[in-house]
Structure 1
Amino acid sequence: MISRSGDGYTQIILPLSLFLVAPILAHQFILLVLTAFAIERPLYFVLKNILKRRRPPEVVPDFTSIIRASDQFSFPSGHTMAAFLLAGLCVSQFGAVAWPIYIWASLVGFSRVMLGVHFPSDILAGACLGSSIAYLVDTGTIAL
């Protein structure tokens, strides 16, 4: 279930649910999230399809994953990248109160390794890339 929570639903539901609490903040946050993911998703797709790292069951003898991956290649972990991107944006916008979302993002990454669809280095790369994009978009270094 943790892995499934990284399928993208949380990245949509969390910003939209902010409208119930703080509509003005929600508008600004949603624009930030949309900008960040407009950068993250194409980067993820390009990296996966250029690097073409095979998944653990394809390269580790006698290894079977628990689930079937949603795409063919392993590096970087898109689930982890998106989870850390959302976590970074939440913390940058809402401060210390949002730090627990990093626990969720870490669990999403860990679950991908435990399910056998990623190597630990896929998760580390996804976490670094997602966090970096969050920082660069939040600081205005990268903008659409």
Structure 2
Amino acid sequence: MNILQNIHAFDVQTFYWCMARKHRVSLTKIGRAISFSADGPLYAAIAAVAWFSGLETLVWVLAFGFLLERAVYFVLKRGFKRNRPAEALDDFSSFIIPSDQFSFPSGHTSGAFFIAFCLSEWFPAFNMVLYFWAANVGLSRIFLGVHFPTDTVIGALLGSACAAFAIGVLI
């Protein structure tokens, strides 16, 4: 149990460091837009464009992998039941109202890294842009005050692992 306490202490310290940045208000405004881009409708639009462009294999990878990612995400979320920063820390309020109660792992970050990984396989010229966007989704969730840093790190690993698995199975 001591290692979990150490991780949480490091997480809280890193979270407060992020919250103390002098440009945090500007980052929060930008973060809302970046976070919104990972809410889900963009993923459906990507799948639709892929389908109508004749990229059926990509659509199947997205569908299978996203179902897997969401299943693992919900198991982890319900299993760990880690409180969000606003609930876990005294005198802190997040800048947005999260869609659910628990923070671990970050579903927005997981979904963003899943999409970035999958699209990078089909469109490698866009690797940098896709991963830059995905990383900024994770950062935005921290700056919006709804996730601790490790929530986003594990979200990134979860999304990437599910994408790699789906691609490995279906291609």
TM-score (norm 1): 0.90
2:35 corresponds in structure 1 to 3
- The letter of the residue matching 1:88 is F
Return the alpha-carbon distance in structure 2 between the equivalents of residues 93 and 137 of structure 1.
13
Runs of 4+ in structure 1 deviating by more than 6 angstroms, as ranges, are none
Letter in 2 for 1:31: W
Letter in 1 for 2:49: S
Partner of 1:24: 54
- Inter-partner Cα distance in structure 2 for 1:64 and 1:48: 21
Mapped pair 1:60 → 2:89: yes
Which consecutive residues of structure 2, in runs of 5 or more, have no partner in the other structure?
1-32
Q: Distance in 1 between matches of 2:36 and 2:163?
A: 22
| Bigger mean CA offset, 96-105 vs 36-45 | 96-105
| Contact 2:82–2:104 (CA under 8 A) maintained in structure 1 | yes
Distance in 2 separating the partners of 1:69 and 1:123:
14
Q: Which runs of structure 2 are paired with 1:119-130 in the superposition (5 Å)?
A: 119-130=148-159
* 1:108-143 deviations in Å (ceiling 9; x for gaps): 111100000000000000001101111111112xx6
Matches of 1:61 and 1:42, distance apart in 2: 32
Aligned pair partner of 1:108 in 137, 150, 161: 137
Aligned equivalents of 1:32, 1:67: Cα separation in 2: 32
RMSD: 1.4
Residue of 3, 13, 22 corresponding to 2:45: 13
Q: Which string of whole-angstrom CA distances, capped at 9 and with x for unpartnered residues, describes residues 85-117 of structure 1? A: 010001112223343111111111111000000
Q: How does 1:63-78 map to 2 (within 5 A)?
A: 63-78=92-107
Which residue identity lines up with residue 36 of structure 1 in the other structure? G
SS in structure 1 of the partner of residue 96 of structure 2: coil
- The residue type paired with residue 85 of structure 1 is F
Residue 88 of structure 1 pairs with residue 117 of structure 2: yes
Read off the aligned partner of 1:24 and give its amino acid letter: G
- Which stretches in structure 1 are left out of the alignment for 5+ residues? none
Q: Which of residues 36, 44, 47 is equivalent to 2:73?
A: 44
Q: Counterpart of 1:139 in 2: which secondary structure?
A: helix
Which residue of structure 1 lines up, in the alignment, with residue 164 of structure 2? 135
SS in 2 for 1:24: coil
Of Structure 1 and Structure 2, which has the larger fraction of its residues in helix? 2
